[in-house]
Amino acid sequence: MIKIQEPGRPWEIVHMDWVTGLPPGGDRSYNAFLVIVDRFSKTPIFIPCHKDDTAIVRFVYETLDNSNNIKSTMTVLSRKI
């Protein structure tokens, strides 16, 4: 088993997962949301979206950058449960 690197500061390592299959809601009829959790502080961010959004990397970076002033490289870990 490979040991996962421990983060040295907030938002250096994040976990991401999708929640899909939701009924459409809101002004833009979102049907999913992306959950991003900072591994350092365990702080979650919930981003409403559409399950077929294709520009996810830019979407995530812009959302996190606007809310947390991130200017460093992030390592993203995601796994299926």
Q: Domain segments of the chain: what residues?
A: 13-77
**Interval 17-36 mean pLDDT:** 85
Selected residue with higher pLDDT from 3 and 60? 3
Contact 14, 39 (CB under 8 A): yes
The fold of 13-77 is Nucleotidyltransferase; domain 5 (3.30.420)
CA separation for the pair 22, 30 (Å, rounded):
8
Residue pLDDT, tens place only, 32-44: 888 888 889 999 9
Return the structure tokens found at 76.
């993203």
69 token code pair: 């002033």
pLDDT on residue 81: 40
- Order of all β-strands in the sheet with 75-77: 44-49, 32-38, 13-19, 75-77
